[in-house]
Every structure is written in structure tokens, then in C-alpha cells.
Amino acid sequence: MSAFDNKRDSNLVSRIIIFLSPFLILLFFAFIQILNLSYFQAEDFKTQSESNRLYQSKIAPQRGFIFDSNNILLVENNIQQDLEINPNFIENPTIFLRQISDLLEIDFNQIESDFYIRSTGKNAKEPYLLIKDLTEKQIAKLSVNLNKIKGAEIISSFSRNVLHKEVMAPVIGYVGNVSKEEIFNNPELKSYKSLKIGKTGVEKDFDKLLRGVMGFRIQERDSFGKLVRNISIEPPSKGKDLKLSIDFELQKKLLNDFKGRKGALVAIEPKTGLIRALISSPSYDPNLLNTINDYEEVKNLFSDKDSPLFNRAISGQYPPASTLKPFVGMAALEAKTISWEKEIFDSGEYLVEGDQRPYKGWKEGGHGNVDMKKAIVESSDVYFYSLAYDLTINNLSPFLEKFGYGEKSGLTKNESKGILPSRKWKLGYIGEAWFKGDTINMGIGQGYMTATPLQIAVAYAALANKGEIVQPRIIEKIGNSETVKIVKNNVFLSDDKNWKRIEEALLAVVEASNGTANNIYDRNIRIAGKTGTAQVKSIGETEYKLLREDKSLRDHALFVGYGPVENPKLVVVAIIENGESGSAVAAPIVRKAINLYSKNEK
């Protein structure tokens, strides 16, 4: 072969290489990409593929049931049908929401607002309930059309139902959606935000026990978001059942006696601390809030001027009035500023040197010469004005504190602690120094001092127990485990006989002809008790007669009693707001409570 031919062949090869080189380069990169996809990134694409068709969803636990002390069912769970949507499958939210709105005949703007609120943030793609508690008509329409709508399905859930509504509302409370604030304060609730949690009452105090443990399942779904199969299921754990100390039948009968009047009642076993009745009137239907179907009705409930949602039994702060007098008497005996036999003349008013204003007693003309027993029986204001003046606030407040005044009882975090005033308290809250007149008013349970019905019940339970202060409780059993009695404190007197003497005076309040509660005397079941009339507004006698036309300015009626005295089974406090007469209005309710409970116990 000549040199010319060799040169020609070489040029041909070069031209072929130049021509094929782009294709060779593309082929090389294609090979590299295939290798990368099939080997190096294979696991990533497998995971992405799985995530497109496999979804983890939560399984709501069934909330625990609640029973009364006699195993009467109080709260149950109803099964309801809800519309759940999965944003992952919704291509056009506006079209989707319009379909749902037209199909179910519901307000488009409302569900659009809910959708866009839920479609922001980290959990924007999580399934959630768009419409709860579907009607039969809505379910029927969805069943026919749901196969045409991507990302929506009907699921079953539980709704809370309080069987006896107004009767048990102050005790049970209600449930509601988890708020951002609640999640911030308790991050654990983030996992339960699809559920309803306790907002008030036992539902709130024992929410963690009642709500149970969430379950999970891995599901395979098609391109419409419809379930293909369950891959795995971790079932939820049902919440604990609770047995309350409340006697439902007793609670129901006593609530009827309030006849729509505002007020409260607490009935507690002094020896065990178990609360057998807890009433706040007026009451409400918790089911309006457990499943909100009528927003207007809920709005009216929250704006009601009589405040049915306010639990007066544990949070109402009232002047204890004359129910405080036995404790003032014991404080004076302990301080040795008085004896049982020493008499004080009650002319109907008490005068303090340097103070031109007389402190009036409730009885015009006074009670004459009174010793401590007579002062308690007839409720002499002047006698206790004198005792408080001699005691001074420095002795009186610390003694009352021993019986639980001015502090929470431990029943619930949501109770009020009332006000047990002192020099330091007044300077800090009012910005003024403490005056002798403040102590005098406190001697009859008026002035700055306030107490809840629960606190008064705990204090009188200590009287019935001769000094043992038992923490109140409203749960008898959690599941199968019984709760235990807790003794918070023991009050010791320098003379133990004073317990019996105070009790004899309280017995005479009911049994003696001059007793302020003689109208409820019943020889079959003896009870010890004390009336009280709490001033709503401090005004003169003439002015009061004019202003009593306004019912909201009338005095509150109080009575607290325990019995049978030989073996006290129950301490009962009743407060009727603006009821004026403790003996006429509140005392008969207390008598009825003790009679009913004592007979049932037999």
C-alpha cells in the first residue's frame, strides 16, 4: 500500500471519530446516569416511591367512661361519622371545597377558612377532619359521590356524651379541641391535637388518664387517596375508666331544690374526704360544647349573664359571714382572750373608742348578756366584734389558716383560694394599712375575707373530725385501683373539750328554741350547723330597705351543717345568692341532703 493510501485511510478514521465523538460522549453520560439511578440512588427513589403510596395515620383511642359512686354510667362515647381529607391528593383546593360545599349543603367560606388554616405550617399535608358528626343525609350523599372526589373519605370517631347533662356539668365539665397555647404548655398534646381533650371539671383534671394512648396504622392508598390495604396496625389503648365519689341520685334531688336560683352546694364525707354532691347553679348542658353543632347556642351560653359555666362550688368567693363565728370563738379561746362563761352585753351595736361609727348587729336592740354558746346559737354580731377586736388580726388570720381558709383544698387546680386577709395582704393588694375596723368586720366573716363553698365544707369537716383535716377528693377509683384518704393536717387545741363544746353550740343552733336554724329541727337525725347572711353591699339599714328591690343587691343566704352528730356521715354547705335568709332558704336544703344520705347509708 502506498503512502498516499495510508494517509487517505488515516483521514477517514479521523473523520469517523470526529463524527461519532458526540454520540460517544452522550452514550457515556447516559451510562453513568443509568448506573447512578440504578445503583447509587436506588434506595432514595425506592423510599420516595413508597412514600407516595404508603401513609401513616393515627387511630384515636376511646376515652374512658365515668361512673358515679353507685356505678351509674355518667359519661359515654358515641360513634359518629366524620369527613376526613388528605391534602396530599387534592390537586385544586377551590374545586375540591366547592364540590364538598355543594354536595353537603354547607357554607363554602367556613370550610375554605378551615382548610387554609390547616394547610399551613409543618403539618400541612397531614390528614384531618374537615366536617365532624355528619348527618344521615350527608353520609348518604357522600357514599354515592365519594369515589369521584380525590382525597376525601368517611371515617368513624367517638364523640363525648354526658348522659345527665345539667345535673353533672359542674363535676364532669366538657371536652374541646387542643389549642396552640395548650400544646405550648404541654408539648405532649401535639400528638393528640386531632382529639378533644378535657377543658373543665373531671374531664380536665384527669384528662391524661381518660384520653388513652394513640394508635397507628400504615396504609397503602391509590391515586385517589382511597384505601387499598392496611400494611400494619398498632392498636390504641382505651383511656382509664373513673368512678366518682358523687352520688348521682343525691346530686339530682338537691339540684332540683335550687329551682334555677344562683348558688352552690358541697357535700363531703368528713372522715374520708369523698365528695358526695357538688352543685353549681345555674348549670348547663356540656354536650353543647362536647360536639358543637350550633355556634349561636354556644355563643349564648358563654354570654349568659348568670354565668352557668362558672363553677360556684369551687371558685365562687363569698363572705363566709356568720359561719366563721365558731372558728373566731375557738381562736379567742386559744388566745385566752375569752372563756366560755364570760358574758358580753350585746345592745345591738359595738362602739370603738375614737371611731364615731357604730358597728351594728343584725338584731335590733341586741341579744342582751351573751356567753359564747348563746352567741353562736343566736349569732350575736356584737359578741364576735368584741372577740375579733381583742384577738387582733395577728392572731386571727394564722388560726383560720389552720382550717384551710385562704388556700386551695387540693381537690383541683382550678379552684379559687379565697382571701384570708392580713396586714401584709391589705398593704400589697389594697395599698392601705390595716385598721381595727377591718378586724372587727372579719370577726363576723365580712369585710375583705372570702371563702369558697368547698373551703367552708373542709373547715367544718375538721370540726366534725375534732381537728383532722382531710383533703377532699372526687375520685373513688381509677380503673380498678381505689384512691386513698389523705390527711393534710391536724389542728390541736389546748383544751380538747372545746371541740365538744363548739359542737354542742352548733347543735343548739338547730335544736334550741332560740337557735337561728330551729326551723329545720328533726329529732330523728340530729345535725349541728350554722346559719350565715353574707352582705353583698355594705349599706345602712334604711338604704338597704330601698335597695333590696334590686335582687342582685340582696344578701346571700348560707347554711353549713353536719350529721348525724353521733357519727357524722356528711358535711353540707349551701349558698343561695341573694337568698337573704340562711335559715329559711339554705338550711332546708342542707337538712334534706343529710337526711337522704343518712337513710341511704343505713
Instruction: Give one DSSP letter per residue of 321-337, joined into a string.
Output: GGGGHHHHHHHHHHHTS
Cα separation, 60 vs 83, whole angstroms: 15
Kindly state the DSSP code that residue 258 receives in the 8-state scheme.
T
Q: Could you tell me which residues come within 8 angstroms of residue 594 by beta carbon, excluding any fewer than 6 positions away?
A: 525, 527, 561, 562, 563, 564, 569, 570, 572
Point out which residues pair with 451 in neighbouring strands. Answer: 318
Query: What amino acid occupies position 385?
Result: Y
Cβ atoms of 253 and 596 within 8 Å: the answer is yes
Alpha helix ranges (H) inside 349-496: 372-378, 381-391, 393-401, 423-429, 436-442, 453-464
How far apart CA 167 and CA 250 sit, in angstroms, is: 10
Tell me the three cell numbers of residue 193: 391535637
Angle at 392 between CA 391 and CA 393, to 5 degrees: 120
Written in H, E and C, the secondary structure of 188-224 is HHHHHCCCEEECCHHHHHCHHHHHCECEEEEEEECCC
- Cα distance between residue 528 and residue 591, in whole Å: 10
The set of cell numbers assigned to 198 is 378535657
Question: Which residues are marked as active site?
Answer: 322
133: cell is 358528626
Distance (Å) of CA 448 to CA 296, 430, 529, 539: 39, 10, 24, 15
Q: What's the rounded Cα separation, in Å, for the pair 386 and 521? A: 30
Buried-state track 414-433, b at ≥16 Cβ within 10 A, e below 16: ebbbbbbbbbebbeeeeeee
Provide the 10 A C-beta neighbour count for residue 267: 28
